[in-house]
Chain A
Amino acid sequence: MTTAEITSALAVIRQETDLNAKSLLLAALVSELFRERGFEPVVVGGSAIEFYTDGAYMSGDTDICWTGWPQPDEDQRDEIMRQIPGIKSHGGTKSWGVDELWIDLLGEIDYRADKDFVVLETQIGEVTLIPVEDALVGRVYAARRYCSGYDEKDDDCAKKLMAAVLSGHLPIDWKEARRVAACSKYNCVAEFDAVRREVEAELAKPGK
């Protein structure tokens, strides 16, 4: 992108007051800048789930990982991000502030689903999201299997994402999701099935 195109994209981002849409547009700008240099950015974490659910979960930052090869080194991250006028960094080349939002540039994406990423198209560019299956199983694991035991916020997050997929508003491969839940990283098939049953029961209540 030329400086003029980046400035035009920033103008679109600055006009947006809806946090989820604004974050998606900023993720699109950053993704575009890295993709044109040969990298494949993928949005993960709470902002990915916010893009999927609008669940009012995300904070003020968006986490970006990388899939495939090459992956940007620190110098490349710095050079690419500093194309954005007015950008500021925090903590080296990890966290970047743009127009009161933050982008965290992380490492290689750690996922188990069979490469079924989701792409959201915006006027600024495409945003690739972590597969729904990984996002969902990851939250179930964090809520009910992680070492600290039960985490209410992660559980709420998992339930909202489960509600979206159960109602057919997001694509999911259930067989693949259970395979991911069964992998050694998560080992949470029972918990995954329990969340599914609980959300199905809740959605089936009269008046819902």
Chain B
Amino acid sequence: MSYALIVTPTKLIIKPERRFTWEQWQAGRAERRRLGNLVAPKNIRRKKSEGDEYLRETYGGERGPKFNKPFDASADEV
């Protein structure tokens, strides 16, 4: 993946170990999700929250679209 479009990097000081490329982030997602599923349910999206009317209007009564995680379809099991 090209990063040619990055024209304005943050001016904040970021420690090297706290900076992740897209590839590094993608590579760790499935394992972080697997670990989380060991200690909590697979889908923990709230059923409601304050001021979520515009979300429900957008998503047919839900608060968000399907997760569509490519490595774990169980994220969309309710």
User: At the interface, is chain B mostly helix, strand, loop or mixed?
Assistant: loop
B45 adjacent to A156 (CB under 8 Å): no
B39 contact from A120, A125, A203, Cβ within 8 A:
A203
CB contacts (< 8 Å) of B46 on chain A: these are 59, 153
A126 contact from B1, B9, B52, B54, Cβ within 8 A:
B9
CB contacts (< 8 Å) of B35 on chain A: these are 160, 163-164, 167, 169, 203
CB contacts (< 8 Å) of A15 on chain B: these are none
B20 adjacent to A118 (CB under 8 Å): yes
Residue of B nearest to A61 (CB): B55
Mark A94-129 against chain B: 1 for CB-CB distance below 8 A, else 0: 010100111000000000000111111111111010
Residue of A nearest to B19 (CB): A119
Inter-chain CA distance A1–B4, complex, in Å, is 12
| Interface residues on chain A, size class | 35 or more
**B31 within 8 A of partner (CB):** yes
B12-31 with Cβ < 8 A to chain A: 12-15, 17-22, 25-26, 28-31
Inter-chain CA distance A5–B13, complex, in Å, is 27
A53 adjacent to B58 (CB under 8 Å): no
**In angstroms, how far is the closest chain A Cβ from the Cβ of B64?**
4
**A52 within 8 A of partner (CB):** yes
CB contacts (< 8 Å) of B32 on chain A: these are 52-54, 163-164, 169-170
Residue of A nearest to B43 (CB): A56
CB contacts (< 8 Å) of B17 on chain A: these are 171
A115 contact from B13, B30, B38, Cβ within 8 A:
B13
CB contacts (< 8 Å) of A21 on chain B: these are 26
**A162 within 8 A of partner (CB):** yes
B11 contact from A20, A24, A40, A171, Cβ within 8 A:
A40
| Interface residues on chain B, size class | 35 or more
CB contacts (< 8 Å) of A155 on chain B: these are 40
B39 adjacent to A35 (CB under 8 Å): no
Inter-chain CA distance A159–B41, complex, in Å, is 10
A159-198 with Cβ < 8 A to chain B: 159-164, 167, 169-171, 198
Residue of B nearest to A41 (CB): B10
**In angstroms, how far is the closest chain B Cβ from the Cβ of A21?**
8
Inter-chain CA distance A67–B14, complex, in Å, is 14
**In angstroms, how far is the closest chain B Cβ from the Cβ of A94?**
10
Q: List 9 A-B contacts (CB under 8 A).
A: A18-B68, A24-B25, A56-B76, A95-B54, A115-B12, A119-B14, A120-B22, A160-B36, A164-B32
Beyond the given A5-B5, A32-B8, A124-B5, could you list 6 further A-B residue pairs with CB under 8 A, ordered by the A residue number?
A58-B45, A91-B54, A119-B12, A125-B5, A126-B9, A163-B39
